[in-house]
Amino acid sequence: MADKLTPAERSENMRRIASKNTSPELAVRSAAHRLGYRFRLHRKDLPGKPDLVFPRLGKVIFVHGCFWHQHKKAACKDARLPKSRREYWVPKLTRNVERDKSNQRRLRRLGWKCLILWECEVKDAERLERRLLQFLGEE
């Protein structure tokens, strides 16, 4: 199946895809703030530049897009591989997943606890708040 966009149109489309301040990330930030938690954003000195960093708690949260980070949950339809240009997409998305795992390992070695929240999971506000409370609770 051929791409329906020209290379220039595809390039422009890809250029506009945000890596931070996405809708799912904003939903997580809003929920965490509403629960009374304060955090830092995208700390460049930490592996993977976590989306939310809770320094006092020693915890970080990544908000992953299901497609870009290949969510493996069976019910997630957003993580499907494209039908065209698989020779491009498979290695690219595989590298993303490998980099995510490496960053999480490095963070754990530095003493940080990590939570991955998936784009498809943050749509349910109640479930999101429960997950945040469970992870950020200061046991």
Residues in the chain, how many?
139
Task: Give the tens place of pLDDT for each residue, 36-88.
Answer: 999 999 999 999 999 999 999 999 999 999 998 999 877 788 878 888 888 98
Q: 17: pLDDT confidence band, cut at 50, 70 and 90?
A: low
Q: Is residue 118 part of a domain?
A: yes
Q: Provide the mean pLDDT of the chain.
A: 88
Structure tokens at 27: 């939903």
Which residues form the domain of 107? 20-136
Q: Which residues have a Cβ under 8 Å from the Cβ of 24 and sit 6 or more positions away?
A: 63, 65, 117, 119, 122
110 part of a folded domain:
yes
* 3 in a structural domain: no
Query: How far apart are alpha carbons 54 and 63 in whole angstroms?
Result: 14
Classify residue 13: in a domain, yes or no. no
For residue 29, what is the domain's CATH number?
A: 3.40.960.10
| 30 within some domain | yes
Q: How many domains does the chain have?
A: 1
Residues 6 or more apart whose Cβ sits within 8 Å of residue 127 = 121
| Helices assigned H by DSSP within the chain | 7-15, 23-34, 86-109, 125-136
8 part of a folded domain: no
